[in-house]
Structure 1
Amino acid sequence: MTMIKRILLTSSFLLFITFVAKAQEEHHDEGHETTHKKHSIAIFLGHTHVSKGVRENDRKWLVLPSWGLDYNYHFNHKWALGLHNEMIVETFAVEDSGGETLERSRPFATTLVATYKLSEWLGAMFGGGGEFSKEENFGMFRMGLEAGIELPHNFELLFTTNYDVKIEAYDSWNLGMGIAKKF
């Protein structure tokens, strides 16, 4: 898949999320009182994209399956602080910022992330943490967007995209979909 096709596919996906969430916001029942839930736990299925992957001694764009498990504490309707965890379920090689090839065996990333709700359905995330693998560990920074569609019984359908900067290593971005339970 060429880079242009990936960009078009990602842009289309994000536009779809925007239209669905905006439609939900417009049809939200204004007279219905909801209680503010302080906690949420979410599970995600995603794909992590690495532009500097190495396969068969050739640099290639890698798309790797990943799982995520997030916990968030919501201070109010605008701010939340959470522990976001992600595991890439494959072993892969990547070219680091110095041109060296690094092996990564099912790396696990954990980050402390602050989320600010830009609207009722869209949040901006930023934070830091680390990526851990048996070969080597890296500090990292994360920024991203999360769109949520409310479902009955305090569930929420989530769409997320994150950009991760692994310090002195490599960068990746993730596109995921998940479900959260608020309590």
Structure 2
Amino acid sequence: MKQLFILAMLALSYSANAQHSEHKSGTEHHAQNQHEHAPHGKHKLSVYTGFTHIPSAFYEHETHEESTGKWVPTIGIDYFYSLSHKWELGIIGDMELDEYYIESDSFEELARNNVVVLSAVGKYKPTHRIGLIAGPGVEWEMGEKDTKTFFVLKTGIEFEVAIEKGWELTPVFTYDLKEEYSAYAFGITIGKRF
């Protein structure tokens, strides 16, 4: 009998608590919602790591016909500035950590060593987490005197996952359409909004 009384009291307590939370005023609920989704600032700085696939790349000991492309480790830094909850402007800088050859459109073999791609992009966010990226850029080789530069059109899609206190983990897929060849990359950024 005593156990039945305790269960009844717990059920009544739970019921009263649930009714109280349902009757919160609209302003309290709105304030709590705003607190949960409070922005952490207009700036976002991120570090990137991933792999870039260059379909037309091959190593010195191979020929272009033998190659099926190369996966190249890539690191980078991104900066974005929020114009609104739907639009951001940013700069994306990536560096491919490998040396390879490509066959240009004029059938010339070009050596590429530690390629850097710097792009100025716009980001449109159709939802809170998904971002669509596009913008022009340039590619050159780090530390090379006679490097050949290429125009780049960077496009991509990302999925932002908020961690806490402005930190975000973001899987990213990008496609770089370059003057002489193209590449696509899979990676992840760890960023902080401030």
TM-score (norm 2): 0.75
- Aligned mates of 2:83, 2:154 — CA distance in 1: 20
The match for 1:179 is 190
Question: 1:33 deviation in Å?
Answer: 4.2
Aligned structure 1 segments of 4 or more residues deviating by more than 4 angstroms: none
Map 1:84-123; keep pairs closer than 5 Å: 84-123=92-131
- Aligned mates of 1:54, 1:98 — CA distance in 2: 17
- Aligned mates of 2:78, 2:99 — CA distance in 1: 22
CA RMSD, 1 decimal: 1.4
Amino acid at match of 2:140: F
Paired residues of 2:152 and 2:177 also in contact (CA < 8 A): yes
Question: 1:44 deviation in Å?
Answer: 0.7
Amino acid at match of 1:107: V
Paired residues of 1:36 and 1:77 also in contact (CA < 8 A): no
Q: Deviations over 1:139-174 (max 9, x none)?
A: 11011001110011100001101100111x110001
The match for 1:141 is 153
The match for 2:84 is 76
- Aligned mates of 2:37, 2:135 — CA distance in 1: 32
Map 1:16-27; keep pairs closer than 5 Å: none
Stretches of structure 1 that go unaligned for 5 or more consecutive residues are 1-28
- Aligned mates of 2:150, 2:73 — CA distance in 1: 20
- Aligned mates of 2:173, 2:82 — CA distance in 1: 20
TM-score (norm 1): 0.80
Query: Among 38, 41, 66, which residue is 1:37 paired with?
Result: 41
Confirm or deny that 1:53 pairs with 2:86: no
Task: Note closer, same or farther for the CA distance 1:30–1:97 as it changes in structure 2 (3 Å cut).
Answer: farther
Structure with greater strand share of residues: 1
User: SS of the counterpart of 2:128?
Assistant: coil
Paired residues of 1:49 and 1:64 also in contact (CA < 8 A): yes
Equivalences, count: 154
Question: Which of the two has higher C-alpha Rg?
Answer: 2
Paired residues of 1:148 and 1:156 also in contact (CA < 8 A): yes
- Aligned mates of 2:76, 2:137 — CA distance in 1: 15
